[in-house]
Amino acid sequence: MDIKLYRQHFLSMGCPCEIGVFSADAKQAESAMAGAENEVHRLDKKYSHFREDSYITRLQITARQAGGVEVDTETASLLDYAATQFEISQGLFDITAGRLARLWHRRESLPSDTELSSALRLTGWAKLQWQSPRLSMPKGMQLELGGIVKEYAADRAALLLRRNGMHSAYVELGGDIHITGPRADGKPWNMGIRNPDQQRHQTGTAMAGIPVNCGGLATSGDYERASIIDGKRYGHIINPTTGWPVNSFQCVSVLAPSCLLAGSLSTLAMLMCHEDGLNMLDESGLTWLARGTNGVDHKG
Least separation in angstroms between residue 7's CB and other proteins is 20
Give the residue with the Cβ less far from other proteins, 152 or 234. Answer: 152
CB atoms near residue 11 (< 10 Å):
11
Give whichever of 231 and 285 is closer to other proteins, judged by the CB atom: 285
Minimal distance, residue 240 CB to other proteins, in Å: 18
Give least dist CB 293 to other proteins, A: 23
Q: Is the dihedral of CA 66, 69, 75, 79 positive or negative?
A: positive
Decide whether 85 or 123 has the Cβ nearer to other proteins. Answer: 85
- Residues contributing to the site for other proteins (CB under 8 A): 3, 24, 73-74, 77-78, 80-81, 84-85, 88, 152, 155-156, 158-159, 162, 167, 181-187, 213-215, 256-258, 260-261, 264-265, 268, 280, 283-287
Q: Which residues pair with 124 in a beta bridge?
A: none
Nearer to other proteins, 133 or 140 (CB): 133
Element spanning 236, H or E: none
CB atoms within 10 A of CB 5: 14
CB of 162 to other proteins, least distance (A): 8
Residue partners of 135: CB distance under 8 A and separation at least 6: 59, 63, 68, 69, 70, 71, 79, 128, 129
Asked if residue 257 has a cis previous peptide bond (ω within 30° of 0), the answer is no
Task: Specify the residue, 76 or 229, whose C-beta has the smaller distance to other proteins.
Answer: 76
- What single-letter DSSP state applies at residue 9? E
